[in-house]
Amino acid sequence: MDIKSAIIEAMIEISQMFGLNISFKGETKEGHQFTGEQVNVLIGLTDGIRGNVIMGFKKDTASSIVSAMMGGMEVKEFDFMAKSAIGELANMTLGSAVMKVKSSNVVNLSPPTVAVGQDMFLTVSGNSSTKMEFKLNDEIFNMILSES
C-alpha cells in the first residue's frame, strides 16, 4: 500500500476509535507553499519515506475532535491539553499509516509540531504536495502529504 492510501485508511480507522464518522472527500495537487488553517499539525517522515505531513483544521473542527478524544469533555479554548491531543491524533494516524506501508526500510516520524493562529503560510519540502480532504459532519479538514 502506498503512503497516501495508508494515510486515508488510517485517518478513518483512528477516528472510529473516538466515535467520529470521518470520510474521505477527495484529493487535489498543491504546490509546496500554501495557506494554513487555524490549527496545523506538522509531522516529518524520515528514512524509508521522506517528506512532511500537515493536518489542517478550523479551530471548531479541531475542538470537536479533541472533545471526542477526551470522552466528550467540552473544549472551550485551544490550550496546551487540546494542542497535545490534536498532536497525538496526528501521531496515531501517521504511526498507523506507516505500519500499513509495505517497506523494507524503517520509517521514522518526527514529534508533532502544533501551530495555532490566523493567516499562516506554510512551506513544505518537495516540489508538489497532495491535499487530501476529509469530512466530519459538515466540517472539512485536510491532510497534506509532501514526499521528498
Partners of 140 in the β-ladder? 135
Q: Evaluate if residue 25 carries a pLDDT over 90.
A: yes
Domain limits, the chain: 3-147
Report the mean per-residue pLDDT for the chain: 92
Give the rounded percent of residues in the chain with a pLDDT score beyond 70.
99
Which pTM was predicted? 0.92
Mean pLDDT of 119-130: 84
The dihedral through the CA atoms of 119, 82, 10, 147 has a sign that is positive
Q: Are 26 and 98 in contact (CB under 8 A)?
A: no
Q: Evaluate if residue 127 carries a pLDDT over 80.
A: no
Residue type, position 85, single letter:
A
Mean pLDDT of 63-73: 95
Q: Evaluate if residue 29 carries a pLDDT over 90.
A: yes
Instruction: Tell me the fold of 3-147.
Output: Chemotaxis protein chec (3.40.1550)
Q: Evaluate if residue 104 carries a pLDDT over 80.
A: no
The pLDDT value given to residue 49: 85
Split at pLDDT 50, 70, 90, the class of 82 is: very high
Report how far residue 133's alpha carbon sits from residue 8's, in angstroms, rounded to the nearest whole number: 9
| Strand runs labelled E in 31-82 | 33-35, 39-47, 51-57
Q: Evaluate if residue 32 carries a pLDDT over 90.
A: no
C-alpha cell at 38: 487555524
b/e burial code for range 133-148 (CB count within 10 A of at least 16 → b): ebebeeeebbbbbbbe
3-state secondary structure of 136: strand
The pLDDT value given to residue 34: 84
Q: Evaluate if residue 31 carries a pLDDT over 90.
A: no
